[in-house]
Amino acid sequence: MELLTEDLHPLTESDKIGEAIYAISGKDNTVTTHTDGTIEINWCGQPEIPDQIIREKICELDFYRMMRKMEPQNPLTTAKRKLKQLGLTEEEINALINSK
């Protein structure tokens, strides 16, 4: 599973909850933050996961994100990851990198 990053924008609580649920279950879900600050989870037909387990997974994923930030980064690898997050395909990324 590819971790969400804050390279393009700060992660919201909804982002982190959705990522944690996916990391636990491997199934898609939809997490919505309403204007009043409440969060709604559409479990997409899967069983609900207790809040405590979701919170523990969020902490674990945040730890992995922090560790990744501390690792020395290869600029080419970082650039490829950012381009992929913007929606480019591997073929498009390679074409950009290999063009002179």
Residue 41, phi then psi, degrees to nearest 5: -110, 125
Residue at 79 is within a domain: no
**pLDDT tens-digit readout, 42-89:** 999 889 999 999 999 999 999 998 888 888 878 888 888 888 888 999
Tokens of 18: 């959705």
What is residue 61's DSSP assignment?
A: H
- What is the DSSP-derived secondary structure letter of residue 81? H
Mean pLDDT for the stretch of residues 17-24: 93
Instruction: Say what the alpha-carbon torsion angle 43, 49, 51, 55 is, to the nearest 10 degrees.
Output: -100
Mean confidence (pLDDT) of the chain = 87
R_g (Cα) of the chain, nearest Å: 16
84 lies in a domain? no
Q: What is the pLDDT of residue 78?
A: 82
21 lies in a domain? yes
The domain total for the chain is 1
Q: Is pLDDT at 2 greater than 80 in this prediction? A: no
Task: Determine the pLDDT at residue 73.
Answer: 77
In a domain, 67, yes or no: yes
Query: For 19-37, what is the mean pLDDT?
Result: 90
Residue 59: inside a domain, yes or no?
Answer: yes
Reported as a single tens digit per residue, the pLDDT across 51-64 is 999 999 999 999 99
Alpha-carbon distances of 72 from 18, 20, 68, 97, rounded to whole Å:
28, 26, 8, 21
* Domain hosting residue 47, numbered range: 13-71
Q: Is 69 exposed, middle or buried (0-12, 13-18, 19+ CB in 10 A)?
A: exposed
The answer to pTM > 0.85 is: no
Which pLDDT score, from 0 to 100, does residue 77 have?
84
Q: Is residue 4 part of a domain?
A: no
Assigned domain for 95 exists: no
Residue 96 within a domain = no
